[in-house]
Amino acid sequence: MPCIECDDPDGDAEQYRAVPAQWDNGQIAKHYIVLATLLAAAGFAIWYWWL
């Protein structure tokens, strides 16, 4: 995840971050693919049961 803007009048907040956070688009995409797959499977199961 990206750095979030904060109220930092001294401009030294970055030194207190343990690990610089970067976007990991691949991991985010995988999470959305898994979510879409689970929702599709649940929708199909409900539709199948309804018939």
Q: Is the pLDDT of residue 29 over 90?
A: yes
| DSSP at 40 | H
8 or 48, higher pLDDT:
48
pLDDT class of 37 with cuts at 50, 70, 90: very high
Q: How big is the chain by its Cα radius of gyration, in Å?
A: 20
Report pTM.
0.55
- Mean pLDDT over the full length of the chain: 83
Q: Is the pLDDT of residue 1 over 60?
A: no
Using left for φ > 0, alpha for ψ between -120 and 50, and beta otherwise, residue 28 falls in alpha
Q: Which two tokens stand for residue 15?
A: 């030194």
